[in-house]
Chain A
Amino acid sequence: MRTIIDDNTTDMAMEETLISPRFYTTNYKELDKVDVSSIRHEWDPLIKEMRSDPNKKHFQKTSEWDDFDFEDLEPGLRKEFIDFLVSSLTSEFSGCVLYKEMKRQGSNADICELFAMMARDEARHAGFINDALREANIAVNLGFLTRKKKYTYFAPKFIYYATYLSEKIGYARYITIYRHLEKNPSSRFHPIFKWFEKWCNDEFRHGEAFALLMRSDPKLTSGLNVYWIKFFLVAVYATMYVRDHARPEFHKALGVDIDWYDDQVLRMTTEISRQVFPIEIDHDNPKWMIGLKRVKKAMLAYGRAKQSKGVTGLIKRPLAALNLGIAFARLYAIPAKRNAVPETSRLQPSY
């Protein structure tokens, strides 16, 4: 994230933040071959629900949006809260670009309709966050289009594993904060949290769609792919744990203990993911928490090593990367629990 001051756009000085979304390409031919006929009885109701666009009217600023002044926030909290808004906006934005591309390049009617609706939701979320940023006098600069962008590659199954987890974790994170603030309204330091309850139902539905896509082809959740599923589970869970712990002011202001919060969110995600994954993380194994803490320590050391310059940096960086790799491998090595996937997968957001 780069910040520049631009005071030509409006009469008030606006800080500009340049967002750098990622660009992806995938195997579009493979996507065209997706056949949802074996799960059609679950697919159609979900698509019908998404078509009805339940959150169409949700993302509007009503009288519920209290007056709020960013200058009232402590500088540390302000920084972390803006990081929260900008990062959330960037991932909604990247999701939108990816989904739109999948819709545009494909010719499979089921897939195209699904991805068009998901792109719609993500762009709407990004617009809503953007508006909250504008209140902080931060304008998003979309000038990245005219800079060189590299397209990275993601096979469809990896998109399913990663975005499924991301959407379900997004749901679990938002609903946990929302429920916590229902009980502790005095900690709600910004009105945006009031929108989380219905907002996260979009994430939940997107996750449902990816669950069905994975169930449409049993090969995606069996054989060697189980090792990939475990890889994504461990990597996504560990990343969330590390990133949350690096933002103490945000969680302190919400009155949330980060260890408690992450445990709730990850257990909830694991419970939901039983709808499709044949394995699950064993949260009760004491080695899991020890391993997470080890990865956190290694990740922080790696972050510091990346910042050190000169010869010290040259020596430190590969060592820190190796250490992080070992910490991750040890976390991966903790045995997962088996899970018998149910006959049908559809769930309703009920947390």
Chain B
Amino acid sequence: MSFFRKRRDNAPCTIEVSNTFESLHAHVRFNNGAIVNPGDEVIVHGDPVKAPYGEVITEDREATILRATPLERLWTRVFGKLEFMEICEFSFSEEVSL
């Protein structure tokens, strides 16, 4: 692996988007067992998935995993924790004024 160049891995994936009263979720599963590592970027190809209200959409798609360089990976491991506020439930966005 080059130290500076990013590797691109393609992976078949299944997406499931649910926009129903019972459940609102969106998941991507890689069908070849690909693992996403710290700092990697993922893009699912094709048109934006639009699940109208009341529907669950499951589709097979192609995804590209843009692998982080070793330096980026290290950076994400060390400083990723500073982004933890995003998973916390505070009821309001971070904007200081709306």
Q: Is A68 an interface residue (CB 8 A)?
A: no
A-B contact count (CB 8 A): 189
In the assembled complex, the CB of B94 is this many whole angstroms from the nearest CB of chain A, namely: 7
Which residues of chain A come closer than 8 Å to B95, judged between CB atoms? 83, 246, 303
- Indicate if the CB atoms of A151 and B36 lie closer than 8 Å: yes
Which residues of chain A come closer than 8 Å to B46, judged between CB atoms? 146
Mark out the residues of chain B between 38 and 57 whose CB falls within 8 Å of any chain A CB in the assembled complex: 38-53
- Indicate if the CB atoms of A166 and B53 lie closer than 8 Å: no
- Indicate if the CB atoms of A145 and B26 lie closer than 8 Å: yes
The answer, among B25, B77, B91, for a CB contact under 8 Å with A126, is B25
Contact segment of A35-43, A95-103, A341-349: A95-103
- Indicate if the CB atoms of A140 and B38 lie closer than 8 Å: no
Q: How does the 8 Å CB contact mask read for B66-81 relative to A, with 1 for contact and 0 for none?
A: 1000000000110011
The answer, among A83, A97, A236, for a CB contact under 8 Å with B88, is A236
CA A89 to CA B85, docked complex, whole Å: 15
* CB within 8 Å for A143 and B49 given contacts A123-B23, A127-B23, A154-B81: yes
Q: Is the interface of B mostly helix, strand, loop or mixed?
A: loop
Which residues of chain B come closer than 8 Å to A119, judged between CB atoms? 25
A144 nearest in chain B by CB position: B26
Interface centre among B46, B88, B97 (most CB of A within 10 A): B88
Task: Known pairs A147-B43, A243-B92, A303-B95; list 16 more (Cβ under 8 Å).
Answer: A9-B52, A25-B38, A84-B91, A86-B93, A120-B23, A127-B18, A127-B24, A146-B43, A149-B42, A152-B38, A154-B80, A170-B89, A235-B85, A239-B85, A240-B90, A246-B95
